[in-house]
């Protein structure tokens, strides 16, 4: 599921549990309600799985974990939920991993990640690159609609 890091002790968990998880889901419900969007059962379930995970999840990880007692979901169910969650800003796709993470930085932003190739951690950060990319785009008449920024390397815990 994730590239395990054998030379370091277990990483701290990032996934939400119990009350924190429930609170995050309730918050998501509220944000949906505010914009006439519906956090339906499969969408909610996929968001729950993402929020509870300690590392980026692949689509087929979600498909396998979807059911309550081992029954997997059908691929379109999960892909449709992911599409919705991305559209509303609840989740991001990490292109270079074919994997998904819940959004960790609420509010308007360009999603950017520092990905550890050893332990699999993907830290979401908030770069101020809008200005630069915009400047470059303006020089050529290009209109930016979205930016993907993904750094690969080693996190502090995995550096030698």
Partner DNA sequence: CGTTCACCGTTATGAAATAACATAACCGCT
Partner DNA sequence: AGCGGTTATGTTATTTCATAACGGTGAACG
Q: By the criterion CB under 7 A, which residues form the site for DNA? A: 37-38, 40-43, 58-60, 73-77, 79-81, 84, 98
Shortest separation between residue 128's beta carbon and DNA, angstroms: 28
Query: What sign does the dihedral 25-26-29-30 (CA atoms) show?
Result: negative
Closer to a second copy by Cβ: residue 68 or 128: 128
Query: What is the rounded CA–CA span in Å between residue 92 and residue 3?
Result: 20
Among 148, 145, 144, 146, which Cα is nearest to 124's?
148
CB nearer to DNA: give 64 or 133.
64
Comparison of 132 and 148: residue with beta carbon closer to DNA: 148
* Binding region for a second copy (CB under 8 A): 95-96, 114, 116-117, 123, 125, 127-129, 132-133, 136-137, 140-156, 159
Q: Residue 94 Cβ, how far from a second copy at the closest point, in Å?
A: 9
92 contacts which partner out of a second copy, DNA, none, CB within 5 to 8 A by kind?
Answer: none
115's CB contacts (< 8 A; 6+ apart) are 94, 96, 97, 121, 122, 123, 150, 151, 152, 153
Closest alpha carbon to 104 in 6, 13, 24, 8: 24
The whole-angstrom separation of Cα 160 and Cα 136 is: 37
Nearer to DNA (CB atom), residue 16 or residue 82 = 82
| Nearest distance from C-beta of residue 86 to a second copy, angstroms | 13
Cβ 45 to DNA, closest distance in Å? 9
Per-residue tokens: 75: 């691929």
């Amino acid at each position: 599921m994730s590239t395990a890091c054998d030379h370091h002790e277990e990483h701290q968990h990032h996934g939400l549990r119990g009350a924190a998880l429930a609170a995050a889901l309730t918050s998501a419900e509220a944000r949906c309600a505010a914009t006439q969007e519906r956090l339906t059962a499969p969408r909610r379930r996929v968001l729950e799985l993402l929020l509870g995970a300690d590392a980026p999840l692949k689509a087929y990880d979600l498909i396998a974990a979807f059911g309550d007692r081992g029954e997997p979901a059908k691929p379109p169910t999960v892909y449709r939920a992911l599409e919705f969650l991305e559209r509303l800003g609840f989740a991001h796709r990490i292109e270079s991993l074919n994997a998904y993470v819940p959004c960790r930085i609420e509010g308007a932003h360009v999603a950017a990640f520092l990905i550890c190739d050893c332990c699999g951690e993907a830290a979401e950060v908030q770069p101020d690159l809008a200005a630069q990319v915009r400047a470059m785009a303006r020089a050529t008449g290009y209109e930016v609609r979205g930016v993907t920024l993904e750094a690969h390397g080693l996190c502090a815990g995995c550096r030698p």
